[in-house]
Amino acid sequence: MAQPSRVQLNDGRSIPQLGFGVWLVPPESTEQVVAEALRTGFRAIDTAEGYGNEQGVGTAIRHSDIDRSEIYVTSKLRNGAHAYDEALKAFDRTMAALDLDVLDLFLIHWPVPAQDKYVEAWRALIQLQNDGRVRSIGVSNFNTEHLERIIGETGVVPVINQVELHPRYQQRALRAFHARHDIRTESYSPLGHGKDISNPIIGKIAEKHARTPAQVIIRWHLQQDLIAIPKSVTPERIRENFAALDFELDQEDMRQIERLDDPQGRISGNPATSNDLF
């Protein structure tokens, strides 16, 4: 079975390029779903305190026969805990729920600009990394202006910005900024909440390669050096998603998918205006 390549980060560490996301996976089934992902071959699991399922992720890891050193775990700081001391307390809650000694990657979930505390939150993450409690630190849903501010005020560049990215919303300008600053782009909702799967162009490419539309889209992410974290609760689809490692799209396939980009294709909230304190 092919294994995902590892992507180098700007702090000298690396992350598996293909991971498994658990957004909207019910807490009562998270352990079973993550266990299936691990059995399939996934070695990177992405969760968040705001998802309410960190405990299930930790239990699945603890009960697996895979050495902890082989599993890359990401979690995120909830939006209501950006104040410095609150961020440190939130991290303690995450670690207690996951039952881990050290976290591989911790992200600020959203900038929440109206609250205007994301720089303070970033300073807390820097401290956690300096204390050896988390190996790498990054952000999620940050626009260019948010990135420029935290870098300018702290001098510390995130290793990753995890953002909504899929064929109908390709975030090219933001990715160009990432490339200039050696920030890796990680795609959440890489299948466009499932909507991109029904696109006829994706369907034709899938037919051509005798693959599923989901596999074509995941492969598109991987061939652009993006990190992708597809989610599914169905064992068959979990295995299908992982099998995107086993084939390649040609240049014409990539060009056709590139043309699907729509500046209005965003599905999730806009980081410039999203201020929910979940």
Contact 61, 50 (CB under 8 A): no
For residue range 163-174, list pLDDT tens digits in order: 999 999 999 999
* Nearest in space to 34 (alpha carbons), one of 51, 20, 49: 20
CA distance 220 to 259: 13
Segment 174-178 mean pLDDT: 98
pTM: 0.97
Burial class (CB in 10 A: 0-12, 13-18, 19+), 130: exposed
CA distance 253 to 216: 9
DSSP letter, residue 194: G
Q: Please say if the pLDDT value at position 1 is more than 70.
A: no
For residue range 47-84, list pLDDT tens digits in order: 999 999 999 999 999 999 999 999 999 999 999 999 99
Three-state DSSP at 47 gives coil
Q: How many CA atoms lie within 13 A of 226 on its CB side?
A: 30
Q: Which of 30-34, 116-120, 274-278 has the lowest mean pLDDT?
A: 274-278
Segment 172-185 mean pLDDT: 98
Catalytic residues: 51
